[in-house]
Amino acid sequence: MSGLLERIAGREILVSDGAMGTFLQAKGLQQGECPEAWCISHPDVVKEIAEAYINAGSNIVGTNSFGGTWYKLKEFGLGDKVAEFNAAAARLAKEAMDDKGFVAAAVGPTGQIVANEGGTASEQELYNAFKDQVIALEQGGADALCIETMSSVIEASQAIRAAKENTNLPIICTFTFEPGARGFRTMMGVDPSRAAQEAVAAGADIIGANCGNGIADMIEITKAMRATAPDMPILIHANAGMPIFENGRTVFKETPEAMAGYVAKLIAAGAGIIGGCCGTTPEHIAAIAEALQGARSTFGKS
């Protein structure tokens, strides 16, 4: 589907959705339970989550398919459910969105490390796992694929290649960076500039960053990606601040108003799609959408 890329090419700033896992937990998902299984066992809940973000102003919503590869599902004894769970995840989000916007189906990391990065998985094995997932997501009605939370450029490249060779969908690829003495890096030591370069080379249509940081830190990351890939659309999904362990659980305390306060700077840095990751809610997305209504910026402006 070309509609999403056409709207971005027209320099329209789009609003994405917020956290899926946080919302599922609030709805009763238990520790150790497979989130993707809820697409079958609790379809109304999964659909309601998408609807809540759409009502908050999201032009793009994700799917409950982040851990939808065989590698992840087999940990729950559900390795034979890849096609069923992913198709259902895309279908539910599409039913919620209808023709009001786009479904960018979530494709998360496999949890495996390839052999030449110190692990045991082969690149072909990762490719095959992503292939099965993305085919099912397209069959379920997804408008795009969001390969997200990546730390390895090798894994990200295999996911992009699997998507390009087996679907006709636009491809988003985002990495997760953490601050350190050498600046922002993924767990595999990849900086934003290299991540952008590798994602573009592999064939991504949209690049960006998600998780790992609050929205303030995403400004520097966005600028680095924009400098490396000046013509590429950039998607940013920030957490609601940095995680804090409190009373036995992890919480995110950045308010909707605080996140919205950085939207104009994030757009000026080069972001063209803005949403949320861990800890963000429909209230955060509504505040971002409201802030965007008053923004006057275009891609590449700084």
Comparing CA positions, the residue from 147, 141, 100, 105 lying closest to residue 126 is 147
Contact 275, 60 (CB under 8 A): yes
Which residues span the domain enclosing 97? Answer: 3-293
Both structure tokens of 187: 């767990």
Residue 47 lies in a domain: yes
Residue at 298 is within a domain: no
Nearest residue to 219 (alpha-carbon basis) of 145, 113, 227: 227
Residue 101 near residue 139, CB atoms below 8 Å: no
How far, in Å, CA of 255 to CA of 76, rounded? Answer: 34
Residue 299 placed within a domain: no
Tens digit of pLDDT at every position of the chain (302 positions): 359 999 999 889 999 999 999 899 999 999 999 999 999 999 999 999 999 999 999 999 999 999 999 999 999 999 999 999 999 999 999 999 999 999 999 999 999 999 989 999 999 999 999 999 999 999 999 999 999 999 999 999 999 999 999 999 999 999 999 999 999 999 999 999 999 999 999 999 999 999 998 999 999 999 999 999 999 999 999 999 887 777 777 778 899 999 999 999 999 999 999 999 999 999 999 999 999 987 744 433 43
The enclosing domain of 65 has a CATH number of 3.20.20.330
Q: What is the pLDDT of residue 242?
A: 80
How many C-beta atoms lie closer than 10 Å to residue 178's C-beta?
A: 13
Asked whether residue 300 is assigned to any structural domain, the reply reads no
Q: Does any domain span residue 152? A: yes
Answer yes or no: is 228 within a domain.
yes
126 close to 167: Cβ distance less than 8 angstroms: no
8 Å CB contact between 276 and 247: no
The answer to the question of residue 48 being in a domain is yes
Q: How many whole angstroms separate alpha carbon 185 and alpha carbon 176? A: 8
Burial of residue 19 (number of CB atoms within 10 Å: 0-12, 13-18, 19+): buried
Residue 118 gets the label, from left (phi > 0), alpha (psi -120 to 50) or beta, of left
Residue 249 backbone dihedrals phi, psi, to 5 degrees: -145, 160
What residue type is 113 in one-letter code? I
Q: Could you give the number of structural domains in the chain?
A: 1
**301 within domain boundaries:** no
DSSP string over 258-289: HHHTTHHHHHHHT-SEEEE-TT--HHHHHHHH
Q: What is the pLDDT of residue 241?
A: 83
Whole-number Å distance between alpha carbons of 257 and 64: 26
> Structure tokens of 94?
């599409």
